Amino acid sequence: MKKALLCSVFVLACSIVAFAAEKSTMTGWFADSGCGANAAKSMDAGHKGCALTCVKNGAKWVFVDSSSKKALQIHNQDVVTEAHVGKEVKVKGSLMGSDEIHIESISDM
């Protein structure tokens, strides 16, 4: 009984931590996971076709932060549409750990 209670307290604490994830606004570019590590390539309007093709062929979307040049994984992949690719955008969302973001909104610069 005591063990079960401890267990559920622990689970509750964990979910609170998950929901308390830091909200942030970032500017950057969407790229495919294959090219995301190459910031110079990803942060260019000319990369749009490459990114769309790569994702169609199974790559994942990543978000390349303009200031850190770091590629973040995107938790909710379906938030990215073709119109958001090939330009710098502003993204609002919650960071999940150090390298993943759950995106809530995307707007033009």
Confirm or reject binding of residue 35 to Cu ion (CB under 5 A): yes
Q: Which residues sit opposite 76 in a β-bridge?
A: none
Torsion of CA 98, 90, 29, 26, to 10 degrees: -20
Whole-number minimum distance, CB 17 to Cu ion, in Å? 34
**Structural contact between residues 104 and 94, judged by C-beta atoms closer than 8 angstroms:** yes
Confirm or reject binding of residue 32 to Cu ion (CB under 5 A): yes
Confirm or reject binding of residue 62 to Cu ion (CB under 5 A): no
Candidates 14-22, 47-55, 71-79, 93-101: pick the segment binding Cu ion (CB under 5 A): 47-55
**Structural contact between residues 54 and 32, judged by C-beta atoms closer than 8 angstroms:** yes
Residues that bind Cu ion (CB under 5 A): 32, 35, 50-51, 54
